[in-house]
Amino acid sequence: MQKFSKQQKKQFDEIFQNKKTESEIEKEFYKKTIKYIKFIKWLPGLKMVWVGNSISMNSASKLSDIDLFIVTSPNSMWFVRIFVTFIFQFLWVRKTPKKHAWKFCLSFFATTDWLDFSKFALDNDPYLYFWILYFKPILNYENTYELFLEKNKSWVDFWEYEDVFEENKKYIKYKKTPLITRERFWVGFLNNLFKKIFLPKTLKHYEKIWKPFWIIINDDLLKFHNWDIRKEIAEKIKNN
What is the per-residue pLDDT across 58-105, written as a single tens digit (0 to 9) for each?
Answer: 999 999 999 999 999 999 999 999 999 999 999 999 998 889 999 999
**Distance from C-alpha of 111 to C-alpha of 74, rounded to nearest angstrom:** 5
Strands 66-72 and 104-105: parallel
pLDDT of 228 reads: 82
Q: How far apart are CA 186 and CA 1, in angstroms?
A: 41
pLDDT at 97: 83
Interval 2-61: pLDDT, tens: 999 999 999 999 999 999 999 999 999 999 999 999 999 999 999 999 999 999 999 999
CA distance readout (Å), 167 to 9, 91, 164, 172, 234: 17, 31, 5, 10, 26
Which pLDDT score is estimated for 210? 56
36/184 Cα distance (integer angstroms)? 24
Kindly report, residue by residue over 193-224, the tens digit of the pLDDT: 999 999 988 888 667 655 666 788 989 999 98
